[in-house]
Chain A
Amino acid sequence: MVDTALIDWSRAQFALTAGYHWIFVPLTLGLAVIMAVMETIYVVKGDDFWKSTAKFWMKLFAINFAVGIATGIILEFQFGTNWSNYSWFVGDIFGAPLAIEGILAFFMEATFFAVMFFGWDKFSKRVHLLATWMTGIGASISAIWILIANGWMQHPVGMEFNPDTVRDEMVDFWALVTNPVAISKFFHSVFSGWMTGAIFVIGISAWYLLKGREKRFALASIKVAAIVGIVGTMSVMLSGDSHGVHAAKYQPMKLAAAEGLENGGTRAPFSIVPGVEVPGVLSILATHDIDGYVPGINNILEGYTTPDGQTYLSAEEKIERGRAALEAFKGYRETMKTDPQAAAEYRKALDANVEYFGYGYIESPEELVPPVWLVYWAFRVMVGLGGFLLLLMLVVLWAEWKKRLINMRWLLWVALFSIPLVYLAGQAGWIVAEVGRQPWAIQNLLPVKAALSSVNVGAVQTTFFLFVAVFTLFLVIELRILFKAIKQGPGIEK
């Protein structure tokens, strides 16, 4: 029997790595745009002030970039080391985006990062500017492919199960690339990176203003960052809206958990916090219709019929059909070489139930409910902080425009202390996305317990604690180096 401790430790290890990775990546995505805009102003205006400003943020970018790379390679390896069944079962589809990411994005980042950082005196202004933009574009292209892969895990499309090779096989690459979940996930994640970069720059610049240092640098940085951040946040909200609609369509359990919605229906309420609800708003968010039907956790487990007459099976029925699919698959494997007629019958039975194949591994309906409290609160943290940070950036930009920012010390303090909040919002977002999908590694196809490697739980525990130590060490070092570099400052105003 699959060791539940192995499942938990493997999940913990992946969550740990992904969580740490997402500390460093959003700053890379956001800061890349901000410093590229600054360098563009330098090239257009020819003012060395903007070169120095861009160079300072590049210095912080480089410190952060390295740790993002280090944590990223661990994620790639872990698909094989800890999730070997997953690697085979969906490798035909999942491996392609990873390989394309390497070919298209990583080489671009690696090459142009070196040019951007060391090439100031070796290339013309324009070529250097190109390199800076290409570093950021490379990071975003990388995000496209990994989020296509992740989007596919949320809403698997463009594939068929092949019982001969025992895996899902890609049949439509275009469907994979244009998967609506992947597209909204890409915009949501990349623009949340812009938010992170913006809040990081605004917060640090606010610190300089509080200290009465580097005023021109700080105000100029705030202006660029706030504009990038506001554009980013607006886009995060728009893509978040699509996310809600997609979750309602393809992952209703995730949406129900995020809302703590036990029993759904039409005019479903949106929960602000437990006990405080706004009637009908969830229906609007999920279906863009106040009369739209949103199923709750119990409806999904027990089966339900929407007002337009569409019927959805109960969890028990899905599990039953999943087991029938697994039985048919077993029969097919046993007879495929010896009895073609029997194999054809099994194949027919398999095809009839293959949609529920993954449910065959589920032991009881309760397993299909993700940890509701975690998803519920993570969603509130994400949305609440997102709204607060947008407001903050609007107020900061307004205050700067009115030339009042330097005197609004309370606002500068709020900006400074908002830096950890933007990271908290990002982490919460991924908790909603990934914990909300549980128990599935791939929605409805493969539960995490069937995706594992056959590894000793002790080995996974050992590597888990090793990674905890290594990542924490890296984070502490990075923060210390960043603090020292920030304290030292850009040195523009002597």
Chain B
Amino acid sequence: MITYEFLQQYWWFLVSLLAGLLVFLLFVQGANSMIFTVAQNEDERQLMVNSTGRKWELTFTTLVTFGGAFFASFPLFYSTSFGGAYWVWMLILITFVFQAVSYEFQNKVGNVLGKNAFRVFLVINGLLGPLLIGTAVGTFFTGSQFIVDKGAVSDTLMPVISRWCSDWRGLEAVANIFNVSFGLMVMFLSITLGLLYMINNIANQNLHIRLARYLRSMFASFLVLFIFVVYKLLTMYGFAVDADGYIFIEGYKYLHNFLDMPIVLALFLVGALLVVTGVVLSLVIPFYKRGIWFAGPGTVSVVVSIFLVAGYNNTAYYPSVTDLQSSLTIANNSSSEFTLKTMAVVSLIIPLVVAYIAYFWRKMDKKSLTTEELNNSEKY
């Protein structure tokens, strides 16, 4: 039976899946952040830029679709977080906007700022994009300062429903060690994935050796942060909601969520294992190229499980620390049953979309990228 509650859960799952795919596709950002670190000459930099250059639009599109799906299914989050944490979203936006033009412009005659300026934009987006997105997601667990008052619509003088209560407009999130660690964790994960992606996608022995060398330190940094974040997540207070929609603080809430939802726990553990496997195989076996095929799906799995822990099992996924009852749950701020049902029908096309992307991606990447190919075909 397709009930309203089922549709809300279904859409939270789809939003979680899009989040998982987005974090996986942030390998583009992670790889870009290493343009000046790993590459030692122009040929290598060209290989790196062109390798991610054939994928960046997928990441960008996934980010836009993630936003669109959130808007369509949980519009009060869109309204509250975007309108409230103004500076965080604007910063994320600006870094992605610069990235969007940098590929096309960087190597073109007449680009005004010069090649390196655009590559610096790619590096900035590569570091700040995942860092800021991760920090923003951290607030799903630590809370933000806002009030939601739907009755305000009748106030003709100030009819705004959501109000942010910090003048820092979202930047206050960096004052919380968990949020920052979460952001750094996503950043180092994206770099790890970026290195694994380039190992797979670029055929250049010298570059491969250096990519593998950086993989060790980047993965180690990620692992330390991951362990810290998971420890904090499992031991922190969480934001629970009872059957009447009343929101309250619960100790070890996210640990309870994992234990109450064994499938989600399995997703998390298997995902983490796949990420570790992908990296370890790439480090242990000389010139092993398939690490991304373990770490990529592993990332999707872990991120989906974290989002499910944030929203499922009677949990407020976007808590307000200013007014607990203003916290957003998947039940109190979703779209109407009709809209969710309509959108659910549309979502049935997603497998087809994934299939054609996978087909063309596979055909495009059948042979790893080489300098020869770049010299003989279109390139950025």
- Interface-forming stretch among A108-116, A188-196, A369-377, A382-390? A108-116
A88 touches B67 (CB 8 A): no
- The residue of chain B having its C-beta at the shortest distance from the C-beta of A168 within the complex is B336
Q: Tell me if A95 is interfacial: C-beta within 8 Å of chain B.
A: yes
A166's partner among B71, B82, B113, B150 (CB-CB below 8 A) is B150
Shortest Cβ distance from residue A357 to the other chain B in the assembled complex, whole angstroms:
9
Contact between chains at B96 and A96 (CB < 8 Å): no
A455 touches B (CB below 8 Å): yes
A95-B75 in contact (CB<8A): yes
Report Cα–Cα, A470/B293, bound state, in Å.
38
A401 interface residue per 8 A CB criterion: no
Q: Which of B65, B87, B113 has the most CB of A within 10 A?
A: B65
Within 8 A of A (CB), among B338-380: 338-339, 342-343, 346-347, 349-350, 353, 356-357, 360-361, 363-364, 366, 376-379
Contact flags A99-134 to B (C-beta < 8 A → 1, else 0):
111111011111111110111111100000001000
Consensus secondary structure, chain B interface: helix
Considering the complex, give the chain B residue whose CB is closest to the CB of A88: B79
A84 x B364 contact (CB < 8 A): no
Tell whether, in the assembled complex, residue A470 and residue B97 are in contact, meaning their CB atoms are under 8 Å apart: yes
CA–CA, A324 and B333, complex, Å:
27
* B-chain residues with CB within 8 Å of residue A1 when the two chains form the complex: 157-158
**Interface residue ranges of B129-166 to A (CB < 8 Å):** 150-151, 153-154, 156-164
What 0/1 pattern do residues 459 to 485 of A give for CB contact below 8 A with B?
100010010001001101110110111
Report Cα–Cα, A173/B337, bound state, in Å: 12
Determine if B104 and A63 form an interchain contact, defined as CB atoms under 8 angstroms apart: yes
Please determine whether A485 and B159 come into contact, CB atoms closer than 8 angstroms: no
The A-contacting residues of B in range 154-184, CB under 8 angstroms, are 154, 156-164, 167, 169
Of all chain B residues, the one with the shortest Cβ separation from A110 is: B57
B24-70 with Cβ < 8 A to chain A: 54-55, 57-58, 60-61, 63-65, 67-69
Partner of A361, one of B101, B159, B360: B159
Tell which of B72, B81, B108, B153 touches A485, judged by Cβ atoms closer than 8 Å.
Answer: B108
Interface residues on B, range: 35 or more
A residues less than 8 Å from B379 (CB atoms): 118
Q: Which residues of A contact B353 (CB under 8 A)?
A: 103-104, 107-108
Q: Is the CB of A463 within 8 A of B90?
A: yes
Residues of B within 8 A of A295 (CB): none
Give the total number of A-B pairs whose CB atoms are below 8 A apart: 281
Chain B residue contacts of A65, Cβ below 8 A: 104
Stretch at the interface among A37-45, A67-75, A200-208, A391-399: A67-75
With a cutoff of 8 Å between Cβ atoms, the chain A residues found around residue B335 in the complex are: 91-92, 95-96, 169
Which B residues are in CB contact (< 8 Å) with A326?
A: 154, 156
A361-B377 Cα distance, complex, nearest whole Å:
59
Rounded to whole Å, the gap between the CB of A134 and the closest CB of chain B is 9
Q: Is A93 an interface residue (CB 8 A)?
A: yes
CB under 8 Å from chain A, chain B span 95-119:
96-98, 100-101, 103-105, 108-113
Contacts of B76 in A (CB 8 A): 88, 91
Q: Nearest-CB distance from B376 to chain A (Å)? A: 8
B89 at interface, CB cutoff 8 A: yes
**B106–chain A nearest beta-carbon distance, Å:** 11
Q: Does A62 contact B (CB under 8 A)?
A: yes
Is the CB of A238 closer than 8 A to any CB of chain B?
no
From residue B119, how far is it (CB to closest CB) to chain A in Å? 15
Judging by beta carbons under 8 Å apart, are B81 and A80 in contact?
Answer: yes
B73 within 8 A of A: yes
Quote the shortest CB–CB distance from B200 to chain A (angstroms).
Answer: 17
Say yes or no: is A2 at the interface (Cβ < 8 Å to chain B): yes
Contact (Cβ within 8 A) B378 A120:
yes
Among the listed A330, A454, A477, A488, which residue makes an inter-chain contact with B83, where contact means beta carbons less than 8 Å apart? A454
Contact residues of A: prevailing secondary structure: helix
With A454-B163, A476-B112 as known contacts, state yes or no: A85 contacts B154, CB within 8 Å. no
Residues A110 and B58 in contact, CB atoms below 8 Å apart: yes
Tell whether B201 is near chain A: CB-to-CB under 8 Å.
no
Number of A residues with CB within 8 Å of any CB on chain B: 94
B339 touches A466 (CB 8 A): no
- Provided the pairs A99-B72, A477-B112 are in contact, do residues A88 and B162 lie with their beta carbons within 8 angstroms? yes
Distance in angstroms from B297 CB to nearest chain A CB is 19
- Partner among A66, A72, A121, A171 whose Cβ is within 8 Å of the Cβ of B377: A121
CA distance A109 to B75 in the complex (A): 26
B342→A77 contact, CB < 8 A: no
| Chain A min CB distance to B101 (Å) | 5
Q: How far is the CA of A368 from the CA of B112 in the complex (A)?
A: 45
Contact: B110 with A111, CB < 8 Å?
Answer: no
Are B64 and A76 in touch, CB under 8 angstroms? yes
Interface residue A187 (Cβ < 8 Å from any Cβ of B):
no
Residue of B71, B164, B347 ringed by the most chain A CB atoms within 10 A? B71
What is the CA–CA distance of A109 and B353 in the complex, to the nearest angstrom? Answer: 12
- Please state if A454 and B349 are interface contacts (CB–CB under 8 Å): no
Known: A79-B71, A91-B71, A120-B377. A107 touches B65 (CB 8 A): yes
A462 to chain B, nearest CB (A): 9
Q: For A117, list chain B residues within 8 Å (CB).
A: 378
Set B83, B111, B339: member contacting A453, Cβ < 8 A: B83
Distance between A421 CB and nearest chain B CB, rounded to angstroms: 24
CA distance A85 to B79 in the complex (A): 7
| Interface status of A329 (Cβ within 8 A of chain B) | yes
- Please report the C-alpha to C-alpha distance between residue A244 and residue B33 in the assembled complex, in whole angstroms: 52
Contact B160 A102 (CB under 8 A): no
Q: Which of A69, A111, A330, A488 contacts B357 (CB under 8 A)? A: A111
User: By the criterion CB–CB under 8 Å, are A333 and B151 in contact?
Assistant: yes
B97 cross-chain contacts in A, Cβ below 8 A: 70-71, 73-74, 470
CB distance from A335 to the nearest CB of B (A): 12
Least distance between A468 CB and chain B CB atoms (Å): 13
Let me know if A81 is at the binding interface, CB within 8 A: yes
Q: Which of B65, B104, B108, B376 contacts A484 (CB 8 A)?
A: B108
Q: Which residues from B are CB-within-8-Å of A73?
A: 60, 63-64, 93, 96-97, 100
Shortest Cβ distance from residue B315 to the other chain A in the assembled complex, whole angstroms? 21
Is A82 positioned at the interface, with any CB of B under 8 Å from its CB?
yes
| Residues B68 and A99 in contact, CB atoms below 8 Å apart | yes
Q: Is B288 among interface residues, defined by CB-CB distance under 8 A?
A: no
Q: Which residues of A contact B80 (CB under 8 A)?
A: 84
B65 pairs with A102, CB closer than 8 A: yes
In contact, B75 and A88 (Cβ under 8 angstroms): yes
* B-contact bits for A52-65, CB 8 A (1 contact / 0 none): 00000000001101
Q: How far is the CA of A117 from the CA of B346 in the complex (A)?
A: 29
Which residues of chain A are within 8 angstroms of B73 by Cβ–Cβ distance? Answer: 95, 99
Most chain B C-beta atoms within 10 Å of own C-beta, residue among A2, A73, A82, A485? A73
Task: Enumerate chain B residues within 8 angstroms of A452, measured Cβ to Cβ.
Answer: 160
Residues on B with beta carbons closer than 8 Å to the beta carbon of A83 = 83
Chain A positions 152-174 with a Cβ under 8 Å from a chain B Cβ: 162, 165-167, 169-171, 173
A360-B339 contact given A84-B162, A96-B72, A111-B58, CB 8 Å threshold: no
| Among candidates B78, B111, B378, residue contacting A80 with C-beta atoms closer than 8 Å | B78
Apart from A91-B71, A112-B360, A166-B150, 16 more pairs, CB < 8 Å? A69-B60, A70-B101, A93-B339, A96-B342, A103-B347, A104-B346, A106-B64, A106-B65, A109-B57, A120-B378, A171-B338, A453-B160, A466-B94, A477-B105, A481-B108, A484-B110
Query: Which 5 residue pairs across A and B have the least CB separation, nearest first?
Result: A91-B75, A80-B82, A84-B83, A102-B65, A95-B72
Q: Which residues of B contact A (CB under 8 A)?
A: 54-55, 57-58, 60-61, 63-65, 67-69, 71-73, 75-76, 78-84, 86-87, 89-90, 93-94, 96-98, 100-101, 103-105, 108-113, 150-151, 153-154, 156-164, 167, 169, 335-336, 338-339, 342-343, 346-347, 349-350, 353, 356-357, 360-361, 363-364, 366, 376-379
